[in-house]
Amino acid sequence: MDRALLDWAVRGGMFVLMFGMGLALTRDDFARIWLFPRAALLGSAIQLVAMPLVGVGLALAFGLPGLFAAGLVIVAACPGGTFSNLVVHLGRADTALSITLTATATAVALLTLPLWVNLVLSQIGGAGGDIQVPVLETAGELATFTLLPLALGMVLRVRLADPGTWERRLTRLGVLGVAAAMTSQALLEESETFAGYAQALPPVLALLGVGAALGYGLPLLARLPLAQSATIGVEVCLKNTVLGIALAELSMGLEAAVPAALYTIFHLPVSAGILVSYRLWARHRGLPLGRPLEAPGA
């Protein structure tokens, strides 16, 4: 099957999934974020400031060479993607917060990514080259495959007698479509072996571990609701690695894409673990999934 056709199959599946999410959301979900802005502010600060600093620190601590160091920082500074919204939605955490954090971090990261990469390269003596971020392409994809179907779903929700049933059907259909297309893509791709995989693996795992601790732990310490804490943890860990890989390859070559490629292998299991922990904790405490009204320590 043609790769371009599979790419469009993935995009179509994501459109269906986001449309289904829209059927499950109301304006009150987004209004709740403005009523409790601490979650949005804290989540954005962890994504856009804390994680890039962790990436710089790990690159220096592990003594990574220039391209690997830049690649690690690119991963650390990358925002979450539409897939993080899907995972949060399926885990019945705070979908509206997830979408807000993704949109905010994507817009800001387009400006801050080159600054973080230049910072780590200056610290290790490398030359920080300009990073060409596909601004219009990224913004267009975010709007087309996230905001547009989400808005359509929210508009049509009021016209459907049973939006919950439609949402469940579309979610299953979208998951199957995306999974089938991505599996076909993986089978078509030629395997690439990088000599630096072993060198890049420890700092990549360390970045993911620190991200999970900061993203899930800090909101809990700040006494945010459990669903919001889990959502921030997923957003911090489940990054838009497709953007990271493309960015690294276009600006520096395949070697710089190694950290993002490795990160892709592990970030979904860790994010799923966060949501499993959240659901078990919520069930133990008798909290409703999705929109708990109290802080975890209340």
pLDDT tens digit string along 244-276?
776 776 666 667 778 888 898 899 999 999 999
CATH number for the 3-285 domain, one of 1.20.1530.20, 3.30.590.10, 3.90.950.20, 1.10.357.10? 1.20.1530.20
Find the length of the chain.
298
pLDDT tens digit string along 110-169?
678 878 887 887 787 644 444 444 556 655 665 677 678 878 888 888 777 777 677 777
Number of H helices, E strands in the chain: 15, 0
Query: 189 pLDDT exceeds 70?
Result: no
* Beta bridge mates, 239: 80
Give the max Cα distance, the chain.
62
Judge contact between 237 and 76, C-beta under 8 A. no
Which is nearest to 211 in space by CA: 241, 182, 246?
241
Measured in degrees and rounded to the nearest 5, phi and psi for residue 79 equal -80, 175
Judge contact between 174 and 10, C-beta under 8 A. no
Q: What is the pLDDT of residue 295?
A: 38
Residues 6 or more apart whose CB falls under 8 angstroms from that of 272 comprise 87, 91
Judge contact between 91 and 69, C-beta under 8 A. no
Domain extent listing, the chain? 3-285
Q: What is the pLDDT of residue 59?
A: 92
Q: Which residue do the tokens 């359509």 mark?
A: 152
Confidence grade of residue 235 (pLDDT, cut at 50, 70, 90): very high
Can you tell me the distance from the alpha carbon of 28 to that of 78, in angstroms, rounded to the nearest whole number? Answer: 29
